Amino acid sequence: MTTASTDGARSHARSQASGASMRVPDLPDGVDDTRLVWAEAVPAESYVSRVLGRGTRLRLSDPDGGACAHLLLFRADASWERLNVADTMKVPWQAYLGVGHPLLSDQGRLLATIVADTSERHDLLCGLSPAGQQKMLLAAAKHGMDIRDIAPSATLFKGVRVEDTGALTFTGSAGPGAAVDLLIHLPVVVAVVNTAHPLDPQPATTGLDIVAWRADEELSVPVNTDPEYSRALFNTESTWAAAQ
Amino acid sequence: MTSATSDEIVAARAPWSAILRAGQSLQIIDLHGNQAVDTLFYAVNGDRVDPTGRYSAQATVAAQRNIFLTTGSVLRAADGRALVTIVADEVGNHDTIAGACSKESNTLRYGHHTVHQHACAENFLAEAAKWGMGKRDIVSNINFFMNVPVEADGTLGIVDGLSAPGKSLTVRADTDTLVLVSNCPQINNPCNGFDPTPVRMVITDS
């Protein structure tokens, strides 16, 4: 097919999609496909960002066992309010992410809660390598943000543990098929970079799957009864209600 | 020969900032003991902050593979650049994972009756504004003289400090660096012994 003319170049361009294949992650069993809002396979060393509404359930999964999802969350309508990893550890008195763990903003509100987790290998301590930071900068730039917005991030599917001495032990992946579900409490920009954990001795990364669906009814069923969580839920719900 | 170029007392609950030129040292003296000194570092060009040279707790922890800061710890920007190095430490370990207190997080940690108490995030915002910075420039900080162990199951918390009256810590600037401090006003946990007190800041040319 010639591309020497605009006609030929257009035909060449338009012929490509029909001959290509692209894997799209499946919705979980039992979720009606009318609820689907996002399904995307993120290759190793790539990134995505998306605005997600309140009441979205976001599933990140690691089909091949080598994904490493570095995550930032920003209020979609006020991006200077963002994930605060220090408060996300300090407020629930827990450094390791798991079911029921709040992902807190710097304003004492819930951006998301972990509502399912078959990996249990995550990290809030080490963040992104400088190369990964550059990818996160691109993800944020597409929402009008810049380097000042690239705060410390959460990392899913690669774990770290702290020894008594404060030393870190890299615990790696839980293996193929692990998934983490986040319930989104306020409209957010979700930015995800799929790249190596900085302590990973074998930094080759595999694909990351993302699926998100409407789950508004879950907002009224708290998965955590700690007093700190209940007060974060109060701050979140009252802020949302006041702005309507 | 060492000569002090600056020797200041930071009042209890107050913010403070200064630029360290490469090679200069800052000694932070915990005058009354167990006073958390919340601190951020920013690389500067002249007197202008370089937004790519902001302190990164995560880059610092990942590079040294340890959450505790002490003598020899290199405090880094997100791009890995060394900002300052801890060259002396009479305490043993200092926190950089638990962040600063804020009015907003106080409501979660202690209840909504604390929302109008003073907090480090207020000091950081006010002092950062003097250097042309705003909320987006404030990130996870260092808490000098604050003790935050992490237990085997991941439980962490601010517990009684390891410092004592007169103990100090010294950093040396690896590059021209702005030091932004909140002398922590928190009264709801042991980070200041439930009694915020002044600290002394001594800058010297090496």
pLDDT tens string, chain A, 244 residues long: the values are 799 999 999 999 999 999 899 999 999 999 999 999 999 999 999 999 999 999 999 999 999 999 999 999 999 999 999 999 999 999 999 999 999 999 999 999 999 999 999 999 999 999 999 999 999 999 999 999 999 999 999 999 999 999 999 999 999 999 999 999 999 999 999 999 999 999 999 999 999 999 999 999 999 999 999 999 999 999 999 999 999 9
User: Above 60 in pLDDT, residue B1?
Assistant: no
Do B78 and A199 make contact, defined as CB atoms within 8 angstroms? no
**Owner of token pair 């007169």:** B166
Domain ranges of chain A: 36-217
Query: Which of chain B's residues have a Cβ under 8 Å away from the Cβ of A168?
Result: 61-62, 65-67
Chain B residues whose beta carbon lies within 8 Å of the beta carbon of residue A150:
78
N- to C-terminal Cα separation, chain B? 8
Q: Using a CB-CB distance cutoff of 8 angstroms, which residues of chain A are in contact with residue B66?
A: 165-168
Residue B108 to residue A94, Cβ atoms within 8 A? no
Contacts of B117 (CB under 8 A, 6+ apart): B103, B106, B185, B187, B188
Q: Are B180 and B127 in contact (CB under 8 A)?
A: yes
Pairing of β B167-173 and β B48-54: unpaired
Banded model confidence at residue B2, pLDDT cuts 50, 70, 90: low
Strand partners, A59: A181, A211
Spatial contact of B201 and B7, defined as CB atoms under 8 Å apart: yes
User: Is B206's pLDDT higher than 80?
Assistant: no
> Which residue bears the tokens 């069993």?
A29
Of all residues in chain A, the one with the smallest CA distance to B69 is A166
- What is the residue type of A173? S
Among A80, A84, A161, A234, the residue to mutate for chain B (most B Cβ within 10 A): A84
List the one residue out of B139, B124, B129, B133 whose CA is nearest residue B37: B124
Which of B57, B67, B156 is opposite residue A152, by nearest beta carbon? B57
CB pairs under 8 A between A and B: 129
A199 part of contact set with chain B, CB < 8 Å: yes
Bridge partner list, B115 = none
